[in-house]
Amino acid sequence: MNKLQINKKTCLLPASWDDLTAEQLLKVVPMTYFQPDSPRSRREVLRYLIPLSFMGRRQFRKLTPEQWYDLFRVIDFLWLTQPSGKQLHEFEHKGQTYLLPDAQFSYVTGIEYAMIDFYFKQFTNPKKKDNPDLKALDGLLATMCRPQKAGLDTSDPEWNGDPREKYNAAIAGRRAEALADLPLAVKVTALQVAVSGLRTMDKRYKKVFEEPELDKAGNPIEKKGAGNPYIDLLYDLAEKQVFGNWEATCFTPIHTIFAYLKKKKLDHDDRE
């Protein structure tokens, strides 16, 4: 946190996205994502983050240009960096509470990861940058954000640590329609959880991921007829019975799958 001192009074201002509370995060995200970066936008954010008990509207109007400049610099991170979404553990929509996975995807399963990756790539497809696929974003959220498992017993030795209900593609498809009118602030913040999880996996298991073939513009070349690469991977593992049959393979934690693949790749490299 940053200490802000004006006229011998001190208050704390966030120094990074992780310093924001969940309530602040949901309020600030639309201010920074859906409004242009301007002095007006920054004043709006500061008026929300600075307690009225510290500085009321009258005190704001008395600030000098130099003081405004200093305040604007304190919140530069809101426009220069991305939120991790760590503060958002759950949200309520239409009377239903939805739980999110942690930002490291600790309990995300193979099939869930495959679908998160699929929808994320659909949503961020550079060919659609001027008209993003919002249905893909809804599909991503419906895959990742799920209600608490019925009859959850955290003392059950068979519990895997995930409080969310088991992933089901049919249910996720219907739930995506229900989440279509979810506030944009929540959608964007939840999306950052997906980004954080995908980055964690890419960084931790970099050895597993092969470098994609790029075109002249530096974009990955999509192979014709190629399906979801992670679904294909799950089929291969299930065929070899590495983690059991198709069902067992799909619900094996993705960290377990990638740790196995990383070991196999390292063993292969050592032999060469």
* pLDDT the model gives residue 98: 96
Where a domain ends, among 44, 59, 80? 80
In a structure prediction context, what are the per-residue pLDDT tens digits for the chain, which is 272 residues long? Answer: 888 777 677 888 888 888 888 778 767 877 776 677 888 889 888 888 887 777 777 888 888 888 888 889 989 988 888 766 666 789 999 999 999 999 899 999 999 999 999 998 888 776 665 567 889 999 999 999 999 999 999 999 989 899 999 999 999 999 999 999 998 878 888 888 888 888 889 889 987 776 555 566 656 555 554 568 899 999 999 999 999 999 999 999 999 999 999 998 888 777 76
Give the integer Cα–Cα distance in Å for 105 and 197: 5
Q: Between the CA of residue 104 and those of 6, 182, 263, what are the distances in Å?
A: 39, 24, 20
Exposed (0-12), middle (13-18) or buried (19+): which is 206, by Cβ within 10 Å?
exposed
| Together in a domain, 48 and 109 | no
Provide the pLDDT for residue 48: 86
Q: Examine the domain organization and report whether 35 and 116 are in the same domain.
A: no
What is the domain extent for residue 42? 2-80
| 102 and 202 housed in the same domain | yes
* Residue of 42, 84, 82 lying closest to 63 (CA atoms): 42
Residue that finishes a domain, picked among 18, 47, 80: 80
Q: Is residue 131 part of a domain?
A: yes
Residue with tokens 């999306």: 191
* Whole-prediction pTM: 0.71
Helices (H) and strands (E) in the chain, counts: 12, 4
Asked whether residue 94 falls in the same domain as residue 47, the answer is no
Quick one: 124 and 73 in the same domain?
Answer: no
Our count of domains for the chain comes to 2
User: What is the distance between the terminal CA atoms of the chain, rounded to a whole angstrom?
Assistant: 50
Q: Say how far apart CA 176 and CA 172 lie, in whole Å.
A: 6
Residue 222 shares a structural domain with residue 263: yes
Co-location of 168 and 267 in the same domain: yes
DSSP sequence for 47-66? HHHS-TTT--HHHHHT--HH
